[in-house]
Amino acid sequence: MHAPGDAEVRKVFESVGWGEILVLIVAGLFILGPERLPEAAAWLGKSMRKVRDFATGARQQLRDEMGPEFDDFRKPLEDLRGLRDFDPRRAVTKHLFDGDPDPLGVNEFNGNGGTKPNGYPATAAPQSAPEPLKPGEKPPVDPDAT
């Protein structure tokens, strides 16, 4: 059976790709040299095992001393861990646009109808070009446009 902290350790190592591991090995070769690198890797492995055993022992000792209250104590801590994954943008977007099928008005650009931002219907008939002025005719004046 795995300790509860093992899942977190696995998450960390799952996020590390082969490229990062290769860079660490090459850096270790340059820093320690090929003679001392196996010794350093063995020391690091033993140290990590000791730290993990210490953490597991401390957790088990705490669980034994607290009894059933340990689970009551862990519940709020697990809830706080959920806040790590909290994305404020997603929460605000969900809250503001919940239930709106087209919150950004994308459908009107795709030709799906709706209204334009100025309030006119998007399906209005295209306007024909105005006729050119005849020689000597004065252009029309719109007093509200000036």
Instruction: Return the pLDDT at 1.
Output: 42
In the structure, how many helices (H) and strands (E) does the chain have? Answer: 5, 0
> What mean pLDDT comes out for the span 24-33?
85
Residue 133 lies in a domain: no
| Mean pLDDT estimate for the chain | 75
As a whole number of angstroms, the distance between CA 22 and CA 95 comes to 44
> What mean pLDDT comes out for the span 127-138?
83
Count: domains in the chain: 1
Query: pTM score, two decimals?
Result: 0.36
Instruction: Return the pLDDT at 49.
Output: 93
DSSP 15-29: HS-HHHHHHHHHHHH
Q: What is the extent of the structural domain holding 61?
A: 6-97
Asked whether the beta carbons of 59 and 51 are under 8 A apart, the reply is no
Instruction: Return the pLDDT at 14.
Output: 66
Residue 141 lies in a domain: no
> What mean pLDDT comes out for the span 20-35?
85
Residue 15 lies in a domain: yes
Instruction: Give the count of beta carbons closer than 10 Å to the beta carbon of residue 44.
Output: 11
Question: What phi, psi does 28 have (nearest 5°)?
Answer: -65, -40
Instruction: Return the pLDDT at 35.
Output: 86
Residue 73 lies in a domain: yes
Instruction: Return the pLDDT at 89.
Output: 76
Residue 136 lies in a domain: no
**111 has a pLDDT exceeding 60:** no
